[in-house]
Amino acid sequence: MKDNNCIFCKIAAGEIPSKTIYEDDKFRVIMDLGAASEGHALILPKDHYANLMELDEETASSVLPLAGKISRAMMKSLDCDGLNLVQNNGEEAGQTVMHFHLHMIPRYKGGNEVIEWKPGSPSAEELEETAAKIREAL
């Protein structure tokens, strides 16, 4: 399934040129035009899914092994010191293109702070209350 109005569908299908580093029948992995660091890449499914919640099980189960394969190549070829995998869902989470994609961001010693948050300190009761809400929705 494709969305004719989706730029990532067009890139994944090869209709819009990209700097592709990997492609198979399900995915295209491209260099990110707004790279947070050298080597920043995106894993794009060729089928359209707006976000993680829409992924079918087959696609979902294929994303992480592919990320592992690309990560190993990045670590070997770019001499990076670490790697972040980032996947945003919804505008409030920072998703700007409503097509599931996984950011692969190589990290380098002394490099820019790319991903950070201030850790909270919820009480054990607050954690249990939140966990119970989620369990109920399963």
pTM above 0.95, yes or no: no
* pLDDT higher at 17 or 2: 17
pLDDT reported for residue 113: 78
Which residue type, as a one-letter code, is found at position 131?
A
Number of residues in the chain? 138
Rounded mean pLDDT, 75-84 = 96
Please tell me the distance from the alpha carbon of residue 40 to that of residue 105, in angstroms, as a whole number. Answer: 5
Average pLDDT of span 106-120: 86
Q: Are 78 and 38 in contact (CB under 8 A)?
A: yes
**What's the pLDDT score for residue 18?**
97
- Residue the block writes with tokens 């599931």: 100
When pLDDT is averaged across residues 89-108 and rounded to a whole number, the result is: 96
By annotation, the residues acting in catalysis are: 101
> What is the pLDDT, as a whole number, of residue 52?
97
**Main-chain dihedrals φ then ψ at residue 113, nearest 5 degrees:** -75, 110
- Assess whether pLDDT exceeds 80 at residue 72: yes
CA–CA separation, 137 and 64 (whole Å): 25
What is the distance between the alpha carbons of residues 133 and 138, in angstroms, rounded to a whole number?
Answer: 9
pLDDT for residue 53: 97
Express as a percent the part of the chain with pLDDT over 70: 100
Give tens-digit pLDDT for 27-59.
Answer: 999 999 999 999 999 999 999 999 999 999 999
User: CA–CA distance from 108 to each of 79, 87, 102 (Å)?
Assistant: 8, 20, 19
Whether 27 and 66 have beta carbons less than 8 Å apart is answered as yes
- Predicted confidence (pLDDT) at residue 115 exceeds the cutoff of 80: no
For residue 114, what pLDDT is reported? 74
Question: CA 26 → CA 43, 78, 91, 134, distances in Å?
Answer: 10, 25, 25, 31
How does residue 111 score in pLDDT terms, banded at 50, 70 and 90?
A: confident
C-alpha to C-alpha distance for 103 and 35, rounded to whole angstroms = 10
